[in-house]
Structure 1
Amino acid sequence: MPKLQPPSKSHTVRLVLHGERYNDLEKYVCSLKDDDFVIEHYHPCAALTVNHIEKYGIPSDLALSPRESLQMYDTMVKVWQDWPGAQDLDPEEFLSFKNKIVIKKADARKYEDELKKELTNWTALGQKDKV
């Protein structure tokens, strides 16, 4: 009969949660167009529906790169030309960006959060056709 091995020692493991990545990952879609493969940028907000935003808000793990935040702002201005909050979220006028030589990741995240809040407000204000 074989000898039983003594139980291995256990180790204490701690789970450390960190909400940021070192880099900004952008999503792309590969599709077939005219017998050729095309890789195109896919904005994360394209995966959302108005119903989802109304019921659950924007998912906390749906992150935007700084470029995607600027694309979102440009699209929001284009869709709602009389948007009352456009000036406050204009990247040239946004308080966390204005008069700074270096814009830090935390500044970009604050801008992203404000854009997401605004988009969520659009559904509450009856601007669903613009979302």
Structure 2
Amino acid sequence: MNFSRGTLTIAALAGAASLALAPTATAATTYQIRVLPPIGTVYANNLVTLGVLVTPTPAGEDGTTPVLLELTEPDGDVTPRTLPLTLGGATIATRVHEAGRYVAEFTFDPPNGDPATTTTEFDVVEGPSLGS
């Protein structure tokens, strides 16, 4: 077989172009969630602020994926919440209705990374009496 230089050049350029335009295979990012627990004493029938930090900071499509929170009350009621991320962090203020131990489970399931889940617990005490 006899190929001209022009034919070989075109074939080489076509091969290079197809490699350049092919989607790249990248490993999924492994994320971790760090919980920022409530500060101080948490009283029943008040708001409590919970925070999360996702590391490394998600970017692109992963950066717009919210963190899901399932807050389990002492009586077993579960309240789901969605926390939108801003630069890898999010906070939420939620009302705690009764005294006892609360369990907060945070899940981050991005489209291009490995899902991450973490759980934290915090105690809520009866509010102080204001007198009669």
TM-score if structure 1 supplies the norm length?
A: 0.22
Structure with greater Cα Rg:
2
Structure (1 or 2) with the greater strand fraction: 2
Higher relative contact order (CA 8 A, sep 6+): 2
Q: Which structure is higher in helix share? A: 1
TM-score normalized with structure 2 length: 0.22
